[in-house]
Amino acid sequence: MSKQINFTIDGRSVECQSGESILDVARREGFYIPTMCYLAKATPNASCRMCVVEVEGVDGLVLSCNTPAIEGASITTESDILYKERQNIMKLYNVNHPLQCGVCDKSGECDLQNKTTEFDLAEQTFATQEQKRKKKKWGVLSYDPYLCIMCEKCTSVCNEVVGSEALYIKPGGYKSVIDNHFGDCIQCGECISVCPVGAMASSDFKYNSNAWELQKVPSACAHCSSACNLEYEVKHSGIDSSGSSEIYRVTNEDDFDSLCGAGRFGYDYENRVAIKDEKAFNSAVEAFKNADTIKFNSMITNEEALILQRLKDKNGYRLVNEEARNYQNFMNSYSSVSGTSLYSGDLQAIKDSDYVITLGSSVSRDNPMIRFALATAVNINRANVAYLHPIEDYKLENLVTQFIRYEVGSEEGVMAMLLEAFASDEAKEEQKAFFSELDMGYISGESNVNEDEIKNLKSKMLRKKSPVIVIGADVMAHPSSSNIAKMVALLEKSSEFKVVIIPTNTNTLGVSMICDLDSEEGSSVVGYNVHAATTLCALGDGDLDMPALNQQEGTFTSIDKRVVPLNAALPHAGYELNDIAIALGVESEETINYTSELPTSKGFKSVEFDSLENYYTNGGEAIRGYLLDNKKIKTKKADEAISNITELEDYNGSVIYSVDHISQFNTFTNKTHQIIDKANLIGSEQFAMAAKIKGGQKVKFMFNGKEITRVFNLDSHLKGTVARHSTFDLHDSTSSGKYRYTKVQIQEEGN
């Protein structure tokens, strides 16, 4: 345990944990220390030297960003000497800085501009020979080396927070520039958000609007279960006075939190409707009256989920959402052993961890924030990361210490091997029936995981303090998912491991807690964002237009088990789900009135929507909505027993894995203009040979009962016989709830 320290800043006594830097403590306590290169979420660069402070009894100035506070120290943050020092630093930063504030995108929110004014530099008195440099464009990112002040924030987020190690410094004194290993760049735009000047700019936003004209709407990202904090920046579109507005860009609290490429660039998926279409509304209400099933996916708010549940309570609909039902079943089985309604870990637990195992998830694609958290764990805590998956992910090669490849379908056996390795002896005693039946040789053979690999994995555990296991979507739809869930819970109970069970879609966790889901569809189905006989859709291609998630108020339940608010960035002129509910007799004036009615028995709190907060404190603590209560659940002895490992279904021949591109998540990101990845099939040489196809060829195969045509692309980094198949353009893929690996017969198009 780190110990408490007392010291004084500007005469006021403050407290902190030992090891915390002076700057962190000062900022948390509300003292202002200017910086140019400091980023709270990464290790200090110490390149700007603006954060200097005076410490009593110490000669010279001390860098507050990388100096830990010590007991009894007396620190001064403002004095004439410090002012002069900082003024001189700003003079150096301003050397040859182009005088193009008039057109620069950063103008108005530029650190260099602000601090130049703050330190009262009305004129520049010296200059240097200007170097010839080249402006660069790397996809969504544009780099202007003339504007660059070499603070190194971009390289440190790219290395430490994103973990892709794409950006690097080409050193050369005053000639230094930033360069990009473009092949490693995942186009997340983190470098754009942290750049204090206009050097790293969004290619799309460049010269589109001045920062001060944009209105910020704080909300939550709607693309995956991390539900990251973001601000939609909105302005009227065009110069006419029609009143229509658009989202110009997305920003976030970049000092403390991150966004992935989908969140930052996938924002313009709103559903524009001119007027309320009364005819379509009436026929939709009619369809609801005749229907017996509502089919939906988990890209809805908690409030909408509650409306659907109320409709079920009143009219007896069946609610069908296979993907959320799988998650619900998984969590129920998990709770039956763990005795808690929710898993113990969250993203912060992964960031703070020094030993992470991920099982059954392509983390960089399923939930980029887990990848970012892994990067932080690896770079800050020197964490050991084991990635257990049938397909090696070369985009993670900087982060993963040990990659363990297992056969498709053998997740249950692999989990059993982990349990055998990490569970305590008492747990083994408790589940004696299971452990005595466990045939490690057989499992090892079937899953193709060598027992030595697990031994090696276990040996790394030595002296690690905070292990975390991350369970992904592959496992939820596995035939023995319930058994896997119990094993996960037992591992959590009988070891130090914290568990994160990734909610498979944006609000899967919320939906699984709010709705009673049914497995069978009835004869007459209404779909909400899922194609059915009558479809309500936010994509603009259904029978009745619904508001997209950037046009709605409501809440999400995120992977952090947090209920986070979501605000409408753009207006929606049409109808919403609540209008239909009112027509069907479930009455509440506004959708957000349901926020306080979310089921408290499941851990929600009775809090009004308008009192949910969404901001960060000076110390970097996220004050967003509220945390769910982790309820105690009474376990029954009979439910606790883990059954024996079932035999494997064969996954021979061509197997495809449903997984999307890094920033391309779903039908909504597919609508946005900056995310342009095409749906395709990506496989290794080996896969191509086995399926008798070539790279660049169009192929067709049956997928979920439909014939699909895709372009096959070869990827020289990939190994093995499983191909990656993107499904983001398929309407129902996210809600199908099918196991993510599919055996297919691949044919060339035209045969």
Q: Which is nearer to another protein, 214 or 488 (CB)?
A: 214
Q: Spell out, one character per residue from 206 to 235, where the chain touches another protein: x when CB under 8 A holds, - when not.
A: xxxxx-xx----------------------
Instruction: Tell me the window of 100-108, 148-156, 538-546, 708-716 that interacts with another protein (CB under 8 A).
Output: 100-108
CA distance 242 to 635: 60
Q: Which is nearer to another protein, 109 or 451 (CB)?
A: 109
Candidates 8, 74, 107, 524; binder of another protein (CB under 8 A) is 107
Q: Does 32 bind another protein (CB under 8 A)?
A: no
Place of tokens 């186009």: 187
The DSSP annotation for 510-578 comes to HHHHH---BSS--SSEEEESS-SSEEEESSS-SSEE---TTS--EEEE-TTSEEEEE--SS---S--HH
Burial of 238 (0-12, 13-18, 19+ CB in 10 A): exposed
CA distance 17 to 690: 58
Q: Residues in contact with another protein, total (CB under 8 A)?
A: 26
3-state DSSP assignment of residue 387: strand
Q: Which is nearer to another protein, 242 or 601 (CB)?
A: 242
Q: Does 102 bind another protein (CB under 8 A)?
A: yes
CB of 101 to another protein, least distance (A): 8
The amino acid at residue 83 is Y
CA distance 217 to 566: 9
The amino acid at residue 729 is D
Q: Does 88 bind another protein (CB under 8 A)?
A: no
Instruction: Tell me the window of 14-22, 125-133, 181-189, 220-228 that interacts with another protein (CB under 8 A).
Output: 125-133
The DSSP annotation for 162-227 comes to I----EEEE--GGG-EEEE-GGG-----HHHHH-SSSSEEETTTTTT--GGGPEEEEEE--SSTT-
Q: Spell out, one character per residue from 588 to 627, where the chain touches another protein: x when CB under 8 A holds, - when not.
A: ----------------------------------------
CB of 103 to another protein, least distance (A): 4
Q: Does 126 bind another protein (CB under 8 A)?
A: yes
Instruction: Return the bridge partners of 518, or none.
Output: 320
**Residues in 414-473 at the binding interface with another protein, rule: CB under 8 A:** none
CB of 89 to another protein, least distance (A): 18
Q: Which is nearer to another protein, 32 or 126 (CB)?
A: 126
CA distance 273 to 295: 23
CB of 273 to another protein, least distance (A): 24
CB of 676 to another protein, least distance (A): 18
**Residues in 153-212 at the binding interface with another protein, rule: CB under 8 A:** 206-210, 212
CB of 98 to another protein, least distance (A): 10
For residue 391, give the nearest of 502, 505, 472 by alpha carbon.
Answer: 472
Q: Which is nearer to another protein, 144 or 732 (CB)?
A: 144
For residue 654, give the nearest of 607, 691, 702 by alpha carbon.
Answer: 691
> Is the CB of residue 64 less than 8 Å from the CB of residue 53?
yes
Contacting residues for 162 by C-beta, under 8 A, at least 6 apart: 186, 188, 190, 258, 371, 372, 375
CB of 155 to another protein, least distance (A): 24
CB of 99 to another protein, least distance (A): 7
Instruction: Tell me the window of 69-77, 101-109, 159-167, 614-622 that interacts with another protein (CB under 8 A).
Output: 101-109
CA distance 591 to 287: 21
* Secondary structure letter of residue 21 according to DSSP: B
Which element (helix H / strand E) includes 250?
A: strand 245-251
Q: Does 103 bind another protein (CB under 8 A)?
A: yes
Candidates 84, 135, 455, 465; binder of another protein (CB under 8 A) is 135
Which element (helix H / strand E) includes 687?
A: helix 685-691
Q: Does 136 bind another protein (CB under 8 A)?
A: no
Candidates 2, 129, 436, 751; binder of another protein (CB under 8 A) is 129
Q: Which is nearer to another protein, 241 or 751 (CB)?
A: 241
Q: Which is nearer to another protein, 117 or 456 (CB)?
A: 117
Q: Does 244 bind another protein (CB under 8 A)?
A: no
CB of 149 to another protein, least distance (A): 17
Candidates 128, 523, 601, 652; binder of another protein (CB under 8 A) is 128
Helices marked H in 343-500: 347-352, 363-366, 368-381, 411-422, 425-430, 432-437, 440-447, 451-459, 473-476, 481-494
Handedness of CA 135, 137, 138, 140 (dihedral sign): positive
Instruction: Tell me the window of 1-9, 93-101, 168-176, 585-593 that interacts with another protein (CB under 8 A).
Output: 93-101
CB of 200 to another protein, least distance (A): 16
Candidates 76, 124, 315, 588; binder of another protein (CB under 8 A) is 124
Instruction: Tell me the window of 120-128, 338-346, 594-602, 648-656 that interacts with another protein (CB under 8 A).
Output: 120-128
Candidates 3, 57, 99, 523; binder of another protein (CB under 8 A) is 99
Candidates 59, 80, 120, 123; binder of another protein (CB under 8 A) is 123
3-state DSSP assignment of residue 255: coil
The amino acid at residue 499 is V
Copy the structure tokens of residue 526: 């209404």
Instruction: Tell me the window of 238-246, 289-297, 309-317, 681-689 that interacts with another protein (CB under 8 A).
Output: 238-246
CB of 238 to another protein, least distance (A): 6
Contacting residues for 609 by C-beta, under 8 A, at least 6 apart: 553, 554, 555, 565, 592, 593, 595, 596
Q: Does 238 bind another protein (CB under 8 A)?
A: yes
Candidates 125, 436, 459, 652; binder of another protein (CB under 8 A) is 125
* Secondary structure letter of residue 361 according to DSSP: -
CB of 210 to another protein, least distance (A): 4
Backbone angles phi, psi at 518, to 5 degrees: -110, 155
Binding site residues, another protein, CB under 8 A: 96, 99, 101-103, 107, 123-130, 135, 206-210, 212-213, 236, 238-239, 241
